Chain A
């Protein structure tokens, strides 16, 4: 009798493997990074806790444990792609397109900031990843967690934990990854360029019309990305219309917070020792880093070109904000600009490029999905 009681009491310990122990340690490390270092705590805390819960033996809390509470949330929110779409509604309600509307030239940086996606796609193909896997890894370069999750859920679910962790980790590491590249590619004189501060104002009508018009154009060009673009523009329209403050507030507040919590938990509990601790995961992380670095390189290079074409009116650093790591990239640009020239205030322009990056990343993902579908590679049902 006592043997049975004792064995059932210690069964959790006896079923621990070194892989699940390592993942539990990793979950604790994510919690530490979130709390002590302030790395994306809103995401890393649910993810870290999800990793711990998912790797507890016999608890039935892994994403793959059929019928478990987190399995139900995982299937309902991630596999159906509802969570990324809802996050985009919240994101849209938080974004102010004003700086971009006041200076639309910076929108083009939002395209340059996506180059890393496609260069990484070529690298991933060269390393032997299949086409759907290569696309899912490359989309880390979008610097946009929900977009990365959306594409990976459709085409390479086995890579979802690695891709989503890489996407969110690198987003939080943008202040560490981007500055050395920005400094290496520009001279001090280029970094010191002062751009006219955003005095130009935009009418309320333009702000209201933009999400509708831009949404229609982008969704007609690339309908595969309509679920993401449509939700982004819906969120922004709620905010700019000015007549549904309650909906805008709940989208950018309570709703996005709840979805972020559940999304983080689901990602965490899908990181299981057996399927996460593989060489493939390390390759995904290396390629993800390459993607974000290449985004920065191409953004800054376009910035240099624009600087020459406009005879020194554009600071090349603004190009680095063309990624959709919002608003981290814009803050990095502002900081680097001020280091080179304390009279330089680039934040306004960088925020414009950064919001352009949001649109650019969804466009790049939409084209990717359209081409995959076009050549007959269908999403996982």
Chain B
């Protein structure tokens, strides 16, 4: 493989996989947030 072909392959694959992975993570975070939405902590019963 020529150096330029190697560099371009690395750039396309590297950026592609990084973008894709982080995009998947954003979807997973949104999903987790739907399953476990934030709820106000229960106050101490004694108070």
Contact = CB atoms under 8 A, between A and B. Distances in A.
Interface of A: 100-101, 104-105, 107-108, 110-111, 114-115, 117-119, 121-122, 125, 131, 134-135, 200-203, 205-206, 209-210, 213-214, 217-218, 221-222, 356, 359-360, 363-364, 367-368, 371, 375
B23 A118 contact: no
Given A118-B14, A371-B10, 19 more contacts: A107-B22, A108-B26, A111-B15, A111-B22, A118-B10, A118-B11, A125-B6, A125-B7, A201-B38, A202-B33, A202-B38, A210-B32, A214-B25, A217-B21, A218-B21, A360-B22, A364-B14, A367-B10, A367-B17
B25 A217 contact: yes
8 contacts: A108-B23, A115-B15, A125-B3, A125-B7, A203-B33, A214-B25, A359-B22, A360-B18
Nearest to B1: A375
Contacts of B14: 114, 117-118, 364, 367-368, 371
A298 to B, nearest CB: 9
A205 B1 contact: no
Interface of B: 1, 3-4, 6-11, 13-15, 17-19, 21-26, 28-30, 32-33, 36-39
Given A107-B29, A125-B4, A221 B22 contact: no
- Which of A115, A356, A367 gathers the greatest number of chain B CB atoms within 10 Å? A367
Contacts, number: 108
A121 B10 CA distance: 9
Contacts of B33: 101, 202-203, 206
Contacts of B13: 367, 371
Closest 4 CB pairs of A and B: A118-B11, A104-B26, A205-B36, A104-B29
Given A108-B19, A217-B21, A360-B18, A121 B7 contact: yes
A297 B13 CA distance: 20
By DSSP majority rule, is chain A's interface helix, strand, loop, or mixed?
helix
A355 to B, nearest CB: 11
Contacts of B26: 104-105, 107-108
